[in-house]
Amino acid sequence: MPEDRVFDINCTKCPRLDDFLADVRRQHPTYHARPVPAFGSERPALLIVGLAPGMHGANATGRPFTGDYAGLLLYETLYKFGYSNQPQATSLDDGLRLDNCRITNAVKCLPPQNKPSGDEIRQCNAYLAAELRQLPEKTIIMALGGIAHRAVLRAYGMPLKSAVFAHNSVHRLPDGRLLVDSYHCSRYNIQTKRLTAAMFEDVFRQVAKIYGHGRA
């Protein structure tokens, strides 16, 4: 894994993202518009890795997948499988709690057009590596999309071709943890039916099967 880097809500290491967030703060003074920290259990059985904050979701609220379309299916599914105390995430004061689950992103800052550059993904990877080092030994990692999948491999120092992303596939990582892949629960993927609720639930059933009981 790369050298650990403690999460910094004031990080400005990516000039393009720093400039973009400054513009966002001017246009939306009430938005969080800074690096978004992970959310959930400190020692989770399941870590979910997304891509990056959404403009009017995590970037606005300061919590992953909160207040945007991608969070609708995610939090409904977390609730159904017993990881959340409620099926919606709207704001920091909505009372939401996660049980045995934690959510983070491969890139902590909102990128223009939701597309981080390769350099930005690599620059932010040390934060993800630090998060992975702190996980319990048997934590399962769920990657939402190919970029998150490759970010996890990079954080482990693995060749990016050593494990190919595929929906509901399972990969063993060097420390024995398992990486489970899912298509990202983005608006595009859901509206085009690349990802359906049933397909997403199958990934969570895969996690439950690995643990040998109803949920991780």
pLDDT of residue 211: 83
Question: Residue 88: what are its φ and ψ, rounded to 5°?
Answer: -125, 150
Q: Which of 44, 158, 77, 53 is nearest to 149 (CA)?
A: 158
* Gap between the Cα atoms of 88 and 91, Å rounded: 9
Q: Which residues is 140 bridged to in the sheet? A: 46
Q: Which of 144, 153, 165 is nearest to 48 (CA)?
A: 144
User: DSSP character for 98?
Assistant: B
Q: Is 80 exposed, middle or buried (0-12, 13-18, 19+ CB in 10 A)?
A: middle
Locus of tokens 């983005």: 186
pLDDT of residue 112: 97
- pTM of the full structure: 0.95
pLDDT of residue 216: 45
Q: Sketch out the chain's domains with CATH numbers.
A: 15-211 (3.40.470.10)
At 197, is the secondary structure helix, strand, or coil? Answer: helix
Structure tokens at 101: 């689950």
Locus of tokens 């996890």: 152
* Gap between the Cα atoms of 1 and 153, Å rounded: 9
pLDDT of residue 13: 95
At 120, is the secondary structure helix, strand, or coil? Answer: helix
Could you list the pLDDT tens digit for every one of the 216 residues in the chain? 555 578 999 999 999 999 999 999 999 999 999 999 999 999 999 999 999 999 999 999 999 999 999 999 999 999 999 999 999 999 999 999 999 999 999 999 999 999 999 999 999 999 999 999 999 999 999 999 999 999 999 999 999 999 999 999 999 999 999 999 999 999 999 999 999 999 999 999 999 999 875 454
Beta-carbon-side half-sphere exposure of residue 179 (alpha carbons within 13 Å) = 27
pLDDT of residue 6: 83
Query: Which amino acid is residue 68, in one-letter code?
Result: D
